[in-house]
Amino acid sequence: MLYSVIGYYSLILGLCFGLIIIYFSVKNFQNYQLLDNKILSFTFLQFFFVVISFLCLILSFVLSDFSNETVFNNSHTTKPLFYKIAGTWGNHEGSLLLWLFVLTLFILIFLLRSKKQPTKYKILTLVFQQMIIIGFFVFLIKTSNPFNFLYPTPEEGLGLNPILQDPALAIHPPILYLGYVGTSIIFSSALAATSLNIINKSWASHIKKWVLISWIFLTLGILLGSIWAYYELGWGGFWFWDPVENVSLMPWLALTTLLHCILVLEKKLILTSWVIILSIATFTLSMCGTFLVRSGILNSVHTFANDPERGLFILIFLFCLIFLSLLIFFFFHKNNKNNFTSLFWLSKETSIIVNNWFMMYFLSVVLIGTVYPIFLDVLSSQKISVGPPFYHKLIIPFLIPFLLMMAVGPKLKWIKSNLKDKFYLIILLAISILLSFLIVKNFDTKFLLNTILISSSMYLFFITLRDFFIKIHNNISQNIAHFGFSLLILSILFNNLFSTEIIANLKVGETFQSENTKIVFESINQEKEKNYQSIIGNFSIHNSKGKIENMLPELRIYNQPNIVTSEADIKTTLMSDKFIVINLVQNQDYFNIRYQVKPFMIWIWLSVVLISFGGLMSFIKKEHEK
């Protein structure tokens, strides 16, 4: 109980310091020379009290303090220590406190790392950021207090959802939130720079590192969530177009587009409107994701809050932020149309703009597919779900020119380019078409579409691969990121084309035989762990070449809450994953067996790591140059 009291009053003190910061900033804005040290001290104190509050919640979970309602709802004495700690942010209240922790950390780092920036700009950025921080303080204290008391104190907690008790998912939210919250600094900085009319090359160079670091964390956060969904949910896939997956993808698409616009703005004073709108849109989409998940509107395996009142608060708060940002954009932004009209049609800037439009199209498709079912439900009470076919049909045809532009664009020069010495582009395209034709020819699939799609992916792959061996190519970070993206698309395509699946109901001792695979259900074993009982199936898999592989999928029966989960057994090689999962068939002695061979799975994960590494190299390079 003591930790809950300290944690709650630390939140109150953090809110007070936020109000003090805004008061001093507004009152002494013109006399800004006196503010530097004072504001930095107040910001540090605000962060200190949020840290105290967060640590108090962690200690409450570690000590199983069930007088705290959040701990009671999301923990249990038999839960391993690691998942007790992870349970701190594995719930609505704790995850929002984590949001607040990262918000206050980032603004403190921003002030410490921006000492050479104009003081008015720093103060305005701080004011806009404090508006967001104060909004989250009020939201936590009024509607989502993580330190509510329970009396009398229960003997035991309700426990954490077992599918959330996983190492990948334990670190997934903090990494993802670092990406989400980083967009708040970009948002606040863009509004401050627009208000002072300093959206220029110098500002672009300054804010680029925040765009990069947010983009890296958001990419890695999505990767961890995808890996978790692959092996934990037992569906055998890495992306399901689940609504909550989509709300993490949307800010990533906007942030990727913003990153490329910042690169152009660093070279030439154009795309200022793009940069401001994308800065606003990226943060708005991050907040929208929070609203949709926390309100319980979305029906998803990820959703763990179902209080519409909380969603209404976030919706009103988000509306106020969007209204303020648009007001600043229309009243203060001065766009230089002359610079924009001077763009040459064959230049790196033009290729980036074209690909920006493609990215905005992809973003629109994902946004409509995610939000349309919600509006339809509100307007007509009809419930529909938008699945993979919708996204595939609308995105895949436009992915082809996008990949081609992505391959050719970096080969062009800034300002003005020509096609001299670019004959290798045609040769590599011809090789790509020929190879894809030979690959697709042997499969009973959509011949023309897959040939063109694989061709465009291979084209990007070969061009970026070639650049590693060309000494004059000096943008190694961009090349790694683009190479990683081409590898990602190719791996996904081959994974979809070459995957095989067997579904069968078997008793212990029975055998399933297909044309190329024999599955023998050898036996089952039982084991008892600290907070669950495990039923382990022993299978031998025989392939057409006579090779035998033993696989051990399991069912886990958790004691609190009483839930059964399926744990897949996955054998990974460089070429493919062998994936098997079992489920109980109700009121029968049979087990439902799903066995899949998933080619190039590891390359999907490695390609995203490569994309992130490219961004990290660009960030390190920028810091080194500085």
User: Directed axis angle between helix 243-267 and helix 272-294, to 10°?
Assistant: 160
Q: How much is the average pLDDT of 367-395?
A: 84
72-92 pLDDT per residue, tens: 988 888 888 888 888 888 888
- The pairing of strands 564-567 and 554-558 is antiparallel
Q: Using the predicted structure, report yes or no on whether residue 561 has a pLDDT greater than 80.
A: no
Tokens linked to 69: 């309602």
Q: What is the pLDDT of residues 421-475, one digit of tens each?
A: 677 888 988 999 898 888 877 776 666 777 888 899 999 999 989 888 876 556 8
Residue position matching structure tokens 């007001």: 327
Instruction: Name the nearest CA neighbour of 328 among 460, 447, 193, 214.
Output: 193
User: How does DSSP classify residue 529?
Assistant: -
| pLDDT at 5 (0 to 100) | 92
Q: Which of 401, 423, 408 is nearest to 346 (CA)?
A: 408
Kindly give the pairing relationship between strand 511-513 and strand 500-506: unpaired
Q: What's the pLDDT score for residue 451?
A: 83
Residue 435 Cα distances to 166, 429, 519, angstroms: 41, 10, 34
Q: Residue 577 CA to chain centroid, in angstroms?
A: 24
Is the pLDDT reported for residue 230 higher than 70? yes
pLDDT category at 528 given cuts 50, 70, 90 is confident
Question: Do 67 and 150 touch, CB atoms closer than 8 A?
Answer: yes
Q: Where are the domains of the chain?
A: 1-165, 168-329+347-403, 500-602
The DSSP symbol for 16 reads H
Instruction: Categorize the per-residue pLDDT at 348 as very low, low, confident or very high, splitting at 50, 70 and 90.
Output: confident
Q: How far apart are alpha carbons 561 and 77 in whole angstroms?
A: 12
What's the confidence (pLDDT) of residue 92? 83
When pLDDT is averaged across residues 191-214 and rounded to a whole number, the result is: 93
585 contacts 592 by C-beta, under 8 angstroms: yes
Contact in structure between 282 and 259 (CB atoms under 8 Å): no
Q: What is the 3-state secondary structure (H, E, C) of 388-455?
A: HHHHHHHHHHHHHHHHHHHHHHHHCCCCCCCCCCCHHHHHHHHHHHHHHHHHHHCCCCCHHHHHHHHH
Take residue 610 and report the two structure tokens written for it: 């490569």
DSSP 198: -
| pLDDT for position 179 | 92
Q: Measured between alpha carbons, how far is 554 from 538 in angstroms, rounded to an integer?
A: 9
Q: What is the C-alpha to C-alpha distance for residues 458 and 430, in angstroms, rounded to an integer? A: 10
Phi/psi of residue 520, nearest 5 degrees: -110, 125
Q: Quick one: tokens of 531?
A: 């907070």
Phi, psi for residue 590 in degrees, rounded to 5: -85, 155
Element (H, E) at 282: helix 272-294
Q: Are strands 532-543 and 517-528 parallel, antiparallel or unpaired?
A: antiparallel
Mean pLDDT within 548-559: 88
CA dihedral 402, 407, 408, 409 (to 10 degrees): 70
Q: Residue type for 591, please?
A: F
What whole-number distance in Å separates Cα of residue 333 and Cα of residue 474? 35
pLDDT per position as a tens digit, 268-321: 888 889 999 999 999 999 988 776 766 555 554 444 445 666 767 777 888 899
- In degrees and rounded to multiples of 5, residue 351 shows phi and psi of -65, -35
DSSP letters for 310-343: HHHHHHHHHHHHHHHHHHHHHHH----HHHHHT-
Residue 510 C-beta-side C-alpha neighbours within 13 Å: 11
Q: pLDDT tens-digit profile of 145-163?
A: 999 998 888 888 887 777 7
| CA distances, 280 to each of 209, 319, 321, 365 (Å) | 17, 12, 9, 19
- With contact defined as beta carbons under 8 Å apart, do 258 and 282 qualify? yes
Angle between helices 167-195 and 243-267 (to 10 degrees): 40
User: Which CA distances in Å does 116 have to 122, 191, 205?
Assistant: 10, 19, 13
- Tell me the DSSP string of 548-564: EEEE--EEEEESSS--E
The DSSP code sequence of 562-584 is --EEEE-EEEE-SSEEEEEEEEE
Tens digit of each residue's pLDDT (9 = 90 or more) over 581-619:
998 887 777 889 999 999 999 999 999 999 999 999 988
Instruction: Give me the numbers of helices (H) and strands (E) for the chain, helices first please.
Output: 18, 10
What is the reported pLDDT for 498? 85
pLDDT band at 338 (very low <50, low <70, confident <90, very high): very low
Write out the two tokens for 188. 């606040």
Give mean pLDDT, residues 556-573: 85
Instruction: Tell me whether residue 264 is exposed, middle or buried, using C-beta atoms within 10 angstroms of its C-beta: 0 to 12, 13 to 18, 19 or more.
Output: buried
Mean pLDDT in the chain?
86
> Which of 219, 256, 461 is closest to 355 using CA atoms?
256
User: Cis bond leading into 561, ω under 30°?
Assistant: yes
- Per-residue pLDDT at 301: 45
3-state SS, residue 567 = strand
Find the mean pLDDT for residues 501-527.
89
For residues 501 and 269, what is the distance between their CA atoms, to the nearest angstrom? 53
CA distance 365 to 96: 28
Residues 587-597 have pLDDT tens digits of: 777 889 999 99
Residue 372, C-beta contacts closer than 8 angstroms, at least 6 positions apart: 386
Residue type, 259: L
Percentage, residues of the chain above pLDDT 70: 90
Asked which of 50-59, 62-71, 102-111, 421-430 is least confident by mean pLDDT, the reply is 421-430
H or E element that contains 505: strand 500-506
Is 100's pLDDT higher than 90?
yes
Contacts of 2 (CB under 8 A, 6+ apart): none
Question: How many other CB atoms sit within 10 Å of the CB of residue 472?
Answer: 5
3-class DSSP state of 495: helix
Average pLDDT over residues 176-193: 93
CB 614 within 8 A of CB 481: yes
When mean pLDDT is compared across 211-220, 358-367, 554-563, the lowest value belongs to 554-563
The whole-angstrom separation of Cα 293 and Cα 300 is 9
Alpha-helix runs per DSSP H in 28-147: 36-62, 69-74, 81-86, 92-113, 119-143
